Amino acid sequence: MNNRRANRGGFPARTFTAAVLLFILASGTAAAEALSLPEAVQKALENNHELKAYRNAHAAKEADIGLARSLLLPRISLEERYLRTVNPTYAFMTRLNQERIGTADFAPDALNRPEAVNDYQTSLTVEQPLYVRKFNIGLEMSKTESLASEKALQRKREEIAFRVVQSYLTAETAGEYLRVAQGALEDAREHRRLALARYEAGLGLYSDILRAGTAETEAEQNLVSARKRLAVAKLALGLMVGSGEAVELSGTKPSLPIRDIEDLRSRSQARRDIMALELRKENAENQVRLADAGYFPYLGMGGAYQMNDRNAPLGREGDNWQFMAFLKWELFDGTKRKYERIKAGHQVSELGEQLEGMKKQVSFQVEEAWLTIEEARKNLELAQESLRTAEEGRRLVRARYEGSLSPIVDMLDAQLSRDHAAANLVARENEYQMAIAYLCYASGTIMADLQMEEPKGETR
């Protein structure tokens, strides 16, 4: 009888340890922010660090447009220069620029051995390109690259949105696993209570209590692991949205539409990464034009205004101006332009092959995702049926055990089978939702499906 009383209290050390772990895990997410799926996606689009880095990279590409345009604008410079010299040529030229040449300056001794001369020279210079084919093509290429970068950024936004959906579904699934584990622990405790009651009534074996206790311990361990997985999933979601803290889930379970397959095939060929590669192929073709532009002349004009003074900067003892027009034509550059053009031609072919390969790869991804959805839907239906049969089997075996027609091992096996079926159903539901999300991402419709932009086309 003492042994029976000792077992009524369960396993106090084990239970206390599990309770402490559960309290720590629960308290770690007590103050977590609660977000719905659209809110989590929106927050990630604003705060995700990887996306912020892409935005900065795109901004740098946009700045390249300004750099390319600056080559077509006038260049204006102001220069102040000081000179002190006894060089005969420079001394005479300096005095001439200062407009103080006199008859005495032409004496042989003054010309051959001049005294030291000071000169402060102020120059304002302007140069304006008129026709530089390379500069115009370079500006066009920088605009095209900026547009390609924008498409790549939009695709990165879609990727981040997809990864947020994945993290959200993982956290949702972890929550479902936790509910299954809690239910399994309640059932295990009930089985142990039933075994103890039968033993005290003289209808059961003490070994049944021990086996039920082992099953209860395993259920407690599974519950601790389920709580840990949920806490980690919430932290991972927080990392995706840029907060670095756990995120609680709010709202209904996320649901994404399944569009018509023909619509998805069509949309996938206009995906943002395909568009970005098409633009970069266009820029490779522009690179050929840029190489050809080396055969054209450089035409420009310019002018300068100059002041000279022997006493102070910005002084004006003498001043002068000049205007110029110039044409530069590089007739031979050692075959550099020839090989630049050959190289650019190969780059065009390279990007053309990459583009064709990407289009085929995207088509494959859409078809694979569609087949995966069909597989996941069928597996989900089978998992639902499996859970129904497992629950009915557990009910029948428990009734037989209570009627002393089956050993406790059969009841525990039936319970274990039901727990596995419940966990399998959660996994299959997650696989189905993940498959839908991947189909949306592969076809490039995920932002519209999340209602983060205006939807296009019909869904079914």
Give the pLDDT of residue 458.
40
- CA Rg, the chain, in Å? 40
Q: What is the mean pLDDT of residues 112-117?
A: 93
Give the pLDDT of residue 453.
65
Closest CA to 294 of 345, 329, 343: 329
End-to-end Cα separation, the chain, in angstroms: 66
Residue with tokens 């956290």: 171
Q: Phi then psi for 11, rounded to 5 degrees?
A: -120, 85
Give the pLDDT of residue 406.
81
Give the pLDDT of residue 69.
95
Residue 16 has pLDDT above 90, yes or no: no
- Cα torsion for 256, 262, 265, 267, to the nearest 10°? -70
More reliable by pLDDT, 446 or 406: 446
Residue 425, exposed/middle/buried by CB under 10 A (0-12, 13-18, 19+)? buried
278 pLDDT tier (thresholds 50, 70, 90): very high
User: Which of 30-44, 145-159, 336-350 shows the lowest mean pLDDT across its residues?
Assistant: 30-44
Give the pLDDT of residue 26.
47
Give the pLDDT of residue 27.
47
CATH architecture of 1-72+139-253: Up-down Bundle (1.20)
Closest CA to 216 of 10, 3, 424, 422: 10
Contact 141, 287 (CB under 8 A): yes
Residue 48 has pLDDT above 50, yes or no: yes
- Give residue 143's Cα distance to chain centre: 23
Q: What is the mean pLDDT of residues 49-66?
A: 95
Closest CA to 380 of 431, 436, 435, 440: 431
CATH superfamily label, 255-271+334-460:
Outer membrane efflux proteins (OEP) (1.20.1600.10)
Q: What is the mean pLDDT of residues 428-446?
A: 94
Extract the tokens encoding 411. Answer: 């009841």
- The string of pLDDT tens digits covering residues 293-324 is 989 999 999 999 999 999 999 999 999 999 99
Q: What is the mean pLDDT of residues 442-454?
A: 86
For residues 247-282, one letter each, b for 16 or more C-beta atoms within 10 angstroms of the residue's C-beta and e for the rest, the string is: bbbeeeebebebbeeebbeebbeebbbbbbbbbbbb
Residue 57 has pLDDT above 60, yes or no: yes
Give the pLDDT of residue 110.
87
Residue 455 has pLDDT above 60, yes or no: no
Q: What is the mean pLDDT of residues 138-160?
A: 96
Q: Do domains 1-72+139-253 and 255-271+334-460 have the same CATH topology?
A: yes
Greatest mean pLDDT range, 21-25, 203-207, 326-330: 326-330
86 pLDDT tier (thresholds 50, 70, 90): very high
Q: What is the mean pLDDT of residues 326-355?
A: 92
Greatest mean pLDDT range, 2-6, 199-203, 220-224, 408-412: 220-224
For the chain, which residues make up each domain, given as ranges?
Answer: 1-72+139-253, 75-131+297-328, 255-271+334-460
Residue 375 has pLDDT above 60, yes or no: yes
268 pLDDT tier (thresholds 50, 70, 90): very high
Task: Look over the chain and give the mean of its residue pLDDT values, rounded to a whole number.
Answer: 88
Q: Give whole-number Cα distances, 214 to 161, 185, 200, 409, 425, in Å.
A: 44, 11, 19, 12, 25
